A and B are shown apart, each in its own frame.
Chain A
Amino acid sequence: MTISFKEAVFLYCMKQIQNERSIYSLYHLFQGKKSSQTIQDAHLFRLDPFFQSYPQITREEMDHIIGVLHVNGYLHSISSEYYYLTEKGEKIVQSQNLISLPPKYLQGWKYHQITSVFWERLSLLVQVYSNLIYQNKGFIPIHNKPENLAWIKNYIKMQTGKRFELANDLYTELINCFQQDENIDPAVLTLRLTGHNKIGLTEGQAAEQLQMDSFHYHLEFLNILHYMIYISTNQYSKFPLLSGIIGNKPQTVPLTLSTEKTLRLLEKGFNTNEIARIRKLKESTIEDHIVEIALQVNDFDLRKYVSFEMEQRILTVTRETSAKKLSQIREKVPEANYFEIRLVLARNGGRPWN
């Protein structure tokens, strides 16, 4: 019995979280829930590329996937929500076709706010330019959110070149962009585009055309969008049209609303305890917020909450034992509390967040 691509991806993620989190933490991850817990977990377990990469997921589907993996002997259950990989499961994750997980350019967390905007604007742009050069006025825009239509009007107005040349320039930028990594298959994207005499394919149709598993296609599509965002924003002088699509949309990730409020109070000099009282929240919730701030705000000073010395000791333990479980770390540094450990991990946990 072979498992589907989707199941394999979830198996990979299960491996990443070990048995430290419930399966629903993955549900929140794929859905893209903006809670402190989900955001921290994403980074702690290096699953941030998958953040909000499958917002359509339902709890039922999550249960189903885990059920299939369990029944077929890839997962062993500890309780109804906690599982770890069996030997069979480990083998699958290490096998050839999963080595590429996560997809090379997938940056769910980093780009989740601009992914769909980028796609909608790009496809509109291609459609509008294509119809422009063929002088075809009567077409129905493929994405009709008023804000996108307003944006495109403005965008075209701001371009100084001739209209024919603009389409040409866009073509050149796209070709140049795609050619920077030969492992990228541009068809994943171009099949979906709509032009003056061709309507783009839906996600399902494109997957079928490329004979790809539909979830595999889904991730590859996000992958190529993130690739394009990455290439064009890093070399914006070379890709003025593409990077212009993103414009000055915020690329840095904002804090969740509740955390934002806590940060403002922190800046006014209130301490954790006081903020909890003012906001009528549990102190542990405020601590969650502070961990999220440590994760997001690079110049946020941790010294108020954890000493330099303590930070170093926690870091040494994590490095030497590759312990990731909070309880394991705590065993080795008993004088640290969980809050301190989480703060240190948040600040130093994995790759740079942004």
Chain B
Amino acid sequence: MELKFDNVCKNYGKKRALVDFSATLTEGVYALLGPNGAGKSTLMNMTADILRPTAGTITYNGESIYKLGDKFRAVLGFLPQSAGLYNSFSARSLLRYYGCLKGMDDKKAIEARIDELLELVNLTADASRKAGQYSGGMRQRLGIAVALLNDPKVLILDEPTAGLDPKERIRFRNIISKISFDRIVILATHIVSDVEYIAKDVLLLRQGQLIRDTDVSSLLAEMEGKVWDIKVLAAEVPSFMQKYKISNITKVSETEEEAEATNAENGLTALRVLSDERPSETATPVPASLEDVYLYYFGEVGI
């Protein structure tokens, strides 16, 4: 199973949303990371047959997905970024409707699948409520259930965890890692920690261009010696922020002696600094997280 992008470009009028995107995806989870407007949704919409590329080809097992048409869409599961649901439908009848659309004709099989999915996304208790009465997170979970309905081989998830509470995020993460071994999962997200442990590869997009395409561990390895912990006085923080990308700021919990030694404005603050060189004598190198990687590529000094 192979999904291949070959110099895919997409222009909206003069706006170049995606520029020469090339990548080859096989079974596993691919995390698509990039700031707002990077072109993530554009790429996903093209893969889901919503948009057509301005140039380039997308092939599935060697054949253009647009030529394959419904044969490709049959193995496709898609969670769009802003999925609208029909408000007057209950979750169950909505899933039935999408079952129809996805060409699942065996009535018994579809009911069984719906039960299974409702259980999976923890909506069984609310299955007969109108989708219009759902909370944001519940809608998102229903969207995930719709995407998984036809047991897709290619699963495209555009910010699937947006609006989910921590418990549901973990549930989602577990679902994806459980099912991803025999399918291609493309997952765009801003919550980097969601994909840190499940992503096989990370694709970093900036202004429509693919800037990195590697696995998580090598990305983290590259960051070795670039993430530093420093304790500084509160007064020094602004000058650090102007010089470096700061991924975290925490107040150091002081012991009583320390509190005596320093007065209020000299309170100690711990900074997590991203820098190619050691930012100060007292800085100690620490292992990087994927969030540090994200910030290293997309962060700006001074925020």
Q: Say if A and B assemble together.
A: no
- Which B positions have Cβ atoms within 8 angstroms of A? none
Residues of A near any B CB (own CB < 8 A): none
